[in-house]
């Protein structure tokens, strides 16, 4: 599998996940990349900033960025989204307790939809990591093709003193 196939697979995955999941992953990617301090009042397009993380001067730099992005996405999906939303749901239940059942049900449905989107995306990611973006595939893309007819160059030899 070529390095371009790896980039295409990651790009397709990123483009195809539901928007809510892509936004959360983008925030995580940009935050973990630590390329600069991001304040709570900063106006930043996290999705675009995350996409810039995939750029690199050379193919090896891009593969390095891909490895980093894959690891960060692994971290995103390792977290249990139900526990993350539990405290938010509890706060919403307390705020909407007197507002009636319909209001509370709307909040629950909103988070249920997001949880379902995360779970679908998690399954797609797991499949991608077992196949196209498996560590062995990434390793193979880093290994230059073997040419049995190539002659060793003198470039790596030490000059006599």
Q: Is residue 147 part of a domain?
A: no
Asked, for residue 60, whether it belongs to a domain, the answer is: yes
Does residue 85 form part of some domain?
Answer: yes
3-state helix, strand, coil in the chain (%, to 5): 70, 0, 30
Which residues, in sequence order, are CB contacts of 46 under 8 Å at separation 6+? 23, 26, 27, 29, 30
Task: Give the whole-angstrom CA distance, residue 61 versus residue 14.
Answer: 19
**119 lies in a domain?**
yes
Give the number of domains in the chain: 1
Q: What is the pTM of this model?
A: 0.72
Asked if residue 13 belongs to a domain, the reply is yes
Q: Three-state SS for 39?
A: coil
- Largest CA-CA distance found in the chain, in angstroms, rounded: 88
Containing domain of residue 93, as a range? 3-139
pLDDT at 155 over 60: no
User: Closest Cα to residue 118, out of 4, 16, 18?
Assistant: 18
pLDDT tens-place string over residues 57-105: 777 788 888 898 999 999 999 988 777 767 766 777 677 666 556 666 6
Quote the tokens at residue 71.
């690891």
Report percent pLDDT > 90 for the chain.
27
Residue 124 lies in a domain: yes
DSSP three-state, residue 27: helix
- pLDDT value, residue 153: 59
For 27-61, the pLDDT digits (tens) are 888 888 775 555 555 677 888 888 777 777 777 78
Would you say residue 157 lies in a domain? no
Task: Identify whether 9 is part of a domain.
Answer: yes
**CA distance between the termini of the chain:** 44
């Amino acid at each position: 599998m070529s390095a371009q196939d790896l980039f295409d697979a990651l790009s397709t995955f990123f483009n195809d996940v539901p928007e809510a999941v892509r936004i959360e992953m983008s925030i995580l990617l940009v935050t973990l990349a630590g390329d600069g301090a991001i304040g709570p009042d900063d106006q930043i397009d996290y999705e675009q900033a995350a996409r810039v993380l995939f750029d690199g001067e050379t193919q090896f730099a891009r593969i390095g960025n891909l490895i980093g992005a894959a690891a960060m996405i692994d971290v995103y999906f390792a977290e249990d989204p139900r526990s993350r939303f539990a405290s938010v749901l509890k706060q919403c239940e307390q705020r909407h307790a007197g507002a009636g059942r319909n209001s509370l049900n709307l909040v629950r449905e909103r988070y249920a939809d997001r949880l379902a989107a995360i779970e679908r995306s998690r399954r797609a990611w797991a499949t991608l990591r077992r196949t196209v973006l498996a560590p062995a595939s990434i390793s193979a893309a880093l290994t230059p093709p073997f040419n049995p007819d190539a002659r060793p160059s003198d470039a790596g030899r030490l000059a006599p003193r």
